[in-house]
Amino acid sequence: MLRSIRVSILLPFLIISIGLGVLAWRSYALSARLEDGVNALAMQYAGYAADITARRIDSAVRNGLFDASEEWQQLERKTPNPDSEMLSQWLRSNEWITSAIYVPDADPASSIFASEPAGGATDAARLTREFYTSSGLVRYTYDPARLVEHVRPVLHQQPLMQRSQSDPQAQLAIVATPQHHGEARLTDGFTYVAPLAPPLQGYAIKAFVRTAYGTSGWENARYFSIWVSVVALFLTALGALLAMRGLNREAETMKLRGALIANVSHELRTPLSMIRLGAETLKRSSKLTEKQRAEIEDAVLREVLHLSHMVENVLDVARIQNRSTKALAFTPVRPRDLVTALITTYESWITSRGFEVTVQTEEAVDEQLWDRDAVERAVLNLIDNAVKYSGDVKFIAIALRQSADHVVIEVRDRGIGIAAADLSRIFDPYYRAQFSDTQTRRGAGLGLTLVQQIMVSHGGRVEVESSPGIGSTFRLIFPRQRSQAAEPVPALNVLPEIGSRS
């Protein structure tokens, strides 16, 4: 049955894991495809941008050259006989032309020449160009670098219309003497180098398009999807593990509960049969001596007390486990009175079992807000345990102490002790430490559970020290409440309850 439960719990986790795996795989494939698409787009865009810009620059160059010749012809039309002053003026207005000569058809010998002031760049590359005018020929030299500067503003126009922010954007530059033309893949994008037409064939347009997908590291969608899936798978595995552990614990509790039923029924049957036997004897045999009759009556009474004690324990555990807040009624209690009263009540029972009891209480212990019944039951359970698991030395020491922050009730015995392996589990419900004679000692495995629950509900805890063969010491540690405001609570609420419970 446990096997089938385990399968039924693990199956959903398995399905979730498979689903997550498929999701991760698809997400990876999808982002890889998306990345390919974005990269192809960026690559294409870089090519377009470089080509378009190169053609724009070419046309700007052609326009510049054409505009210069047009301007000269305009000047010539205004002044039929050009002089060198006019040529200089033309030179100045076309800053990229370095020198020019005008040769009239009518008299080649009367040519005019103008040159710009010699700058530092006399060794710069010079290109020569000429055009015919209606009356002659103009031949000029120009500096290609300066011509490039002249047309550079064209770069500021984005080559393609931007429809949205996410569209790729190209960074454009004019590069001289490029090593290669065409595309190149960079770590974070693509470049495309497109050559310019003559006369600027030594230059090229470089377009660079950055791709968001090209980034490495966690921002990369592919890796991100994988990482998220790994984390999700890990969490699923963790969930499965926790579910399995909870299931195991539950299974164990179920096993223990089964043991309880056997236990309790045994526990109930033994005193019941004793009681029945006693009662029957009393009824049938009228010839009993007074002493025999008293013995039987005592035995019956003891068994009834034991029975009621056990039933109370079971009921209390169930009640506190169900978190019913009405289970406890906190009232001001003098711990010293409580302990003394308890011992007085049960001293005869304990001594009748052959035990020696010592009680040690500090004088001035503050009044505490406790549930009197519950604390009594806790102490009584500890005493009961000490009696039950006694060894050859029958000794019980009960102490009440008060420290700065705590009030401590200690129950010490010299019984058989508890093995270290069992120590951590003795407070679990239905758990009983394994002794060679566990079955001979009566109990339901609920006493210490109840003690611990009572302590928790009082804000305190139970400590236990034990070594097999030497004895155990249980300490009930309560938080101490200072008594400066120890007003006596109206006793009307308290007294009837105490009366009704005992």
Partner 1 sequence: MRIRTSHLVVAAVSLLVVSAYADDRKPKCTTPPAECERIIRQMLSGRRYLGVQLQELNPGLVVKSIVDDGPADRASLHPGDRFMAVNGKSTKDATIQDFKRILSDAKETGRLWIIVQREGLLKKIELRMEPYTKAQIDKIVAQHLAEAHSIASSAPPQP
Q: Which of 358, 353, 422 is nearest to 388 (CA)?
A: 353
Q: Which of 195, 198, 197 is nearest to 174 (CA)?
A: 195
Question: Which span (16-24, 132-140, 270-278, 361-369) binds partner 1, by CB under 8 A?
Answer: 132-140
> Applying CB under 8 A, does 86 fall inside the site for partner 1?
no
Among 51, 116, 183, 252, binds partner 1 (CB under 8 A): 116
Nearer to partner 1, 43 or 112 (CB): 112
> Applying CB under 8 A, does 27 fall inside the site for partner 1?
no
Query: Which run of H or of E encompasses 69?
Result: helix 2-78
> Applying CB under 8 A, does 428 fall inside the site for partner 1?
no
Rounded-to-integer distance, Cα 192 and Cα 185, Å: 9
> Applying CB under 8 A, does 71 fall inside the site for partner 1?
no
The Cα diameter of the chain in Å comes to: 173
Among 27, 69, 99, 270, binds partner 1 (CB under 8 A): 99
> Applying CB under 8 A, does 112 fall inside the site for partner 1?
yes
Question: Which span (14-22, 97-105, 280-288, 351-359) binds partner 1, by CB under 8 A?
Answer: 97-105
Question: Which span (5-13, 20-28, 129-137, 197-205) binds partner 1, by CB under 8 A?
Answer: 129-137
> Applying CB under 8 A, does 70 fall inside the site for partner 1?
no
- Fill in the amino acid letter for 23: L
> Applying CB under 8 A, does 120 fall inside the site for partner 1?
no
> Applying CB under 8 A, does 69 fall inside the site for partner 1?
no
Evaluate whether 84 touches 115 at the Cβ level (below 8 Å).
no
The three-point CA angle 261-265-268 to 5° equals 140
| Angle of the 372-388 helix axis to the 290-321 helix axis, nearest 10 | 120
Q: Which residues, other chains included, contact 135 with Cβ-Cβ below 8 Å and sequence gap of 6+?
A: 76, 80, 104, 105, 106
Residues touching partner 1, count (CB under 8 A): 30
Residue 346 CA, chain-centre distance (Å), reads 54
Nearer to partner 1, 40 or 106 (CB): 106
Helices (H), 164-217: none
Question: Which span (21-29, 35-43, 107-115, 353-361) binds partner 1, by CB under 8 A?
Answer: 107-115
> Applying CB under 8 A, does 433 fall inside the site for partner 1?
no
> Applying CB under 8 A, does 67 fall inside the site for partner 1?
no
What is the smallest separation between the CB atom of 143 and partner 1, expressed in angstroms?
Answer: 13
Q: Which residues, other chains included, contact 253 with Cβ-Cβ below 8 Å and sequence gap of 6+?
A: 428, 429, 430
Q: Going residue by residue from 138 to 157, which x/- string records binding to partner 1, judged by CB under 8 A?
A: -x-x----------------
Among 31, 53, 94, 133, binds partner 1 (CB under 8 A): 133
Rounded-to-integer distance, Cα 409 and Cα 407, Å: 7
What is the smallest separation between the CB atom of 109 and partner 1, expressed in angstroms?
Answer: 5
Nearer to partner 1, 104 or 391 (CB): 104
What is the smallest separation between the CB atom of 89 and partner 1, expressed in angstroms?
Answer: 12
Among 113, 262, 279, 341, binds partner 1 (CB under 8 A): 113
What is the smallest separation between the CB atom of 146 and partner 1, expressed in angstroms?
Answer: 16
> Applying CB under 8 A, does 270 fall inside the site for partner 1?
no
Question: Which span (54-62, 133-141, 336-344, 397-405) binds partner 1, by CB under 8 A?
Answer: 133-141
> Applying CB under 8 A, does 66 fall inside the site for partner 1?
no
Sign of CA dihedral 467, 472, 478, 484: negative
Q: Which residues, other chains included, contact 26 with Cβ-Cβ below 8 Å and sequence gap of 6+?
A: none
Token representation of residue 317 = 């555990």
Rounded-to-integer distance, Cα 149 and Cα 240, Å: 69
What is the smallest separation between the CB atom of 168 and partner 1, expressed in angstroms?
Answer: 44
Q: Which of positions 295-334 make contact with partner 1 (CB under 8 A)?
A: none
Nearer to partner 1, 105 or 219 (CB): 105
Among 80, 120, 134, 363, binds partner 1 (CB under 8 A): 134
Nearer to partner 1, 115 or 169 (CB): 115
User: Computed over its alpha carbons, how large is the radius of gyration of the chain?
Assistant: 52
Strands 356-361 and 395-402: parallel
> Applying CB under 8 A, does 375 fall inside the site for partner 1?
no
Composition of the chain by helix, strand, coil, percent to 5 = 55, 20, 30
The three-point CA angle 355-358-361 to 5° equals 150
ω into residue 178 within 30 of 0, thus cis? no
Three-class SS state of 443: coil
Q: Which residues bind partner 1 (CB under 8 A)?
A: 84-85, 88, 99, 101, 103-118, 122, 128, 132-135, 137, 139, 141
